[in-house]
């Protein structure tokens, strides 16, 4: 067969590009506004995400600080009845069998002259008055430069870790602060323990059952531990 095969027809599309079509490809004012709003939205999302991450980190650090306080208070509760416990501002009151030396307050001196009750011999010793036995005095000693918990910082304020009476979202100073509560027997049967705030002036010279909690930035309270102090 010498005849050539018939070639199949091909389709050819021709697109005419009108003059000035490049102007159509440029963003319109509406496109510019949309892109600007999109950029603002993405920046806002990034900022919210960063704030959420930063807040979570601070909340975690505040919880960690509260656990350190709870550990120290729990361990101190087992030891603070001993005569050599330190700091003395957080110790239990001396028992009747362990009478302290007789103290005579020197009028106008602001100091005490301690006379040994075991013997009338020996020189007199001058010393500062003892702690008033309040939580304020104990907490102050713990927060001092060389105190047991002086290295803990409030992650929200950067200041030394402190306690507060209650969490308050309207008061940013309570963010990251500890809340300490003392237990009291309830008058309602079966008489479960009822916790009330441990105020700065409350005496701690007798054994206490404490609850340690911490405040977050939103004024919420997070319980950490119940312990014997």
CA triple 208-150-181, angle to 5 deg: 25
Write the CA distances from 138 to 76, 131, 167, 178, 204, integer angstroms. 12, 8, 22, 15, 9
Q: What is the pLDDT of residues 201-229, one digit of tens each?
A: 889 988 999 999 999 988 899 999 999 99
The encoded tokens of residue 68 equal 């350190």
Q: What is the pLDDT of residues 10-63, one digit of tens each?
A: 666 566 656 655 545 677 888 888 888 888 888 889 888 888 888 888 889 999
Q: What is the pLDDT of residues 119-140, one digit of tens each?
A: 444 444 333 445 688 898 998 8
Per-residue pLDDT at 5 exceeds 60? no
The pair phi, psi for residue 163, each rounded to 5°, is: -115, 160
pTM of the model: 0.64
Average pLDDT, the chain: 76
Band the pLDDT of 98: cuts 50, 70, 90.
very low
Beta strands in the chain (DSSP E): 102-105, 112-115, 125-127, 163-164, 178-185, 193-197, 209-215, 221-228
How much is the average pLDDT of 146-153? Answer: 80
Please report the pLDDT score of residue 189 as a whole number: 60
């Amino acid at each position: 067969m010498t005849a050539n095969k018939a070639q199949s027809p091909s389709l050819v599309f021709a697109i005419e590009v009108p003059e000035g079509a490049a102007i159509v490809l440029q963003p319109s004012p509406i496109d510019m506004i949309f892109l600007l709003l999109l950029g603002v939205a993405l920046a806002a999302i990034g900022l919210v995400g960063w704030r959420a991450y930063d807040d979570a980190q601070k909340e975690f650090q505040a919880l960690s600080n509260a656990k350190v306080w709870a550990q120290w208070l729990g361990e101190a509760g087992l030891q603070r009845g001993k005569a050599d416990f330190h700091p003395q501002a957080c110790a239990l009151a001396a028992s009747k069998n362990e009478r302290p030396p007789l103290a005579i307050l020197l009028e106008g001196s602001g100091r005490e002259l301690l006379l040994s009750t075991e013997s009338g011999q020996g020189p007199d010793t001058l010393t500062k008055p003892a702690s008033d036995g309040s939580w304020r005095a104990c907490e102050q000693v713990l927060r001092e430069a060389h105190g047991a918990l002086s290295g803990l910082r409030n992650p929200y304020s950067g200041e030394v870790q402190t306690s507060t009476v209650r969490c308050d979202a309207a008061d940013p100073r309570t963010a990251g602060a500890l809340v300490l509560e003392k237990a009291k027997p309830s008058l309602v049967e079966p008489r479960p323990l009822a916790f009330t705030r441990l105020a700065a002036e409350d005496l701690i010279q007798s054994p206490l059952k404490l609850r340690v909690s911490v405040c977050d930035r939103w004024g919420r309270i997070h319980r950490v531990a119940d312990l014997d102090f």
